[in-house]
Amino acid sequence: MPIELITEAFKNLDFQSDEDLKKIIADLDHFEIARRLHELSQEHKLKVFYLLDNDKKRQNFLYETDMDSRQEIQENIDQDYFAALLDEMPEDEATDIIQELSGEAQEEILSKMEVKDAEIIKDLIRYGEETAGGLMTPHFNKVFFEDRAGDIFTKIRRETNKEIPPYFYVVDDKDRLMGFFKLKDLMNIQTSALANEFIRPSTPKVDINDPCERVAQIMGQENLSSLPVVDNNNIIQGIITFDDVIRSMQDSASEDIYTMVGTSKVDPFAKKIGNKIIARAPWLFTTFVGGLVSAWILGNYQATLADFAAVIFFIPFVIGLAGNIGIQGATVIVRGLATGDIQKENLAMVIKSEVSVGILNGVIFGSLCGSLVHLTAETYLNIDPVLGWVVGTGIILAVSIASLLGSLAPIIFINLRIDPAISTGPIILVINDIIGLAIYLATAAYFFAQI
């Protein structure tokens, strides 16, 4: 692996010159090195960066590596050189890097960049990172509605050093989007035809504030590799390409998964041990507090547990089943919201469906477990068969509440402007455990009080 070869080369640094190291690094995949750069010390990260043999590789290297490593490099290189590197990068990628900097650092870097590039990046920074505006590139094939097919084709042939783009976007004299056509459309039309005469009848597009999930949804439905981004006046601002969408969706999915388990949202493998502890400790503290509350609940039912100790045997079963069903409902809702499959129109139906599924599962497993306990309680546990009613009813009630909580939690978190992925993380797990335990013990106390 590249990183192991580099690590070994640094160990033998006394026996190798910079030229030897440069040759080793040049023969390796710099993308792979960037993804595992966090395994090296800060000194060695900078060394690898400088030993890359051209600026194009350094730009890719900065963009592909983890945020902590990127900031370490950025803070220890000449800022004029850093600005020059960003100048030559695609504006959307440069924007992603600049957005990680503090406000003062952003202003400093932008002041050192070319005015034209700086202005474009300032415009892109105004939009959210995971919106169409934040992901778009301002460079696209703009064609005016009165341009002739022959003139468009001639212009393409002159730009032989550029890759031929697949889509062309037709605008009116105020830059309002009228439609689009593909390169093959241009090849099969008369040279005298005007652009507005052979545009496609429908033009898929996204609003500048649309979230990345909506962009991905439209792109998938229309089977297009890029989409035009327009403002409220239908004026085209840029285009968003599939590679930017894929990267953003991967980052968003990773962030949701790490949030669900209560760990660092960004580059968890690249974090130092101390930073990992700081990132995870608050979530573990939530579990700690939940344990104290659970202990307090158990203490309140001490008399019931003392007289009917067999109740304790089924506590893990009840809270485990309730927790799993609650998480299933929350995960389905969070995923549906992320992909755009759940909208305001079908939200109530989806929640009703998930709650119904949860309750029915509770009834099935509650009845099954309750019946088995009822039939075997006297023989094997030497306790009143009413324990079966306790276990069965406790499961049904705990699972029903957990299902309702799991399905509604993502919506509540969204309304509070909190990442809904938290609703499938440690907080909801702990709440489900506490509620499930309280319901089960309250059920046990009620039934055994009737004996």
The residue that leads in pLDDT, 118 or 343, is: 118
Judged by DSSP in three states, 247 sits in helix
Answer for the pair 130, 211: CB distance below 8 angstroms, yes or no. Answer: yes
What is the C-alpha to C-alpha distance for residues 97 and 77, in angstroms, rounded to an integer? 15
Determine the average pLDDT of the residues in 102-108.
86
pLDDT at 169 exceeding the cut of 90: yes
pLDDT for 397? 93
pLDDT for 274? 67
Q: Is the Cα torsion angle 346, 351, 352, 358 positive or negative in sign?
A: positive
Determine the average pLDDT of the residues in 327-340.
78
pTM, 2 dp: 0.61
The residue that leads in pLDDT, 67 or 264, is: 67
pLDDT for 365? 92
- Asked if CATH classification 3.10.580.10 holds for the domain at 142-241, the reply, yes or no, is yes
What is the C-alpha to C-alpha distance for residues 375 and 395, in angstroms, rounded to an integer? 17
Determine the average pLDDT of the residues in 257-266.
59
pLDDT digits (tens, 9 = 90+) for 121-158: 888 888 877 788 888 888 888 999 999 988 988 888 77
For the chain, give every residue range classified as CATH 1.10.357.20. 268-449
pLDDT for 368? 93
CA-nearest of 327, 326, 344, 343 to 402 is: 326
DSSP string for residues in 284-303 = HHHHHHHHHHHHHHHHHTHH
Determine the average pLDDT of the residues in 399-423.
82
Range 2-129: architecture per CATH: Alpha Horseshoe (1.25)
pLDDT digits (tens, 9 = 90+) for 281-326: 777 788 888 889 989 998 888 887 877 888 888 898 888 888 888 8
pLDDT at 81 exceeding the cut of 90: yes
pLDDT for 364? 94
Residue 152's CB: how many other CB atoms inside 10 A?
Answer: 20
Average pLDDT, whole number, for the chain? Answer: 83
What percent of the chain lies above the pLDDT cut of 70? Answer: 88
pLDDT digits (tens, 9 = 90+) for 31-58: 888 888 888 888 888 988 998 989 999 9
Q: Where are the beta strands (DSSP E) in 119-269?
A: 142-144, 167-171, 177-182, 206-207, 226-230, 236-241
Domain 268-449 classification at class level: mainly alpha
Task: Give the CA radius of gyration of the chain.
Answer: 30
For the chain, give every residue range classified as CATH 1.25.60.10. 2-129
pLDDT for 424? 64
The residue that leads in pLDDT, 15 or 4, is: 4
* 372, two tokens: 């088995």
pLDDT at 421 exceeding the cut of 60: yes
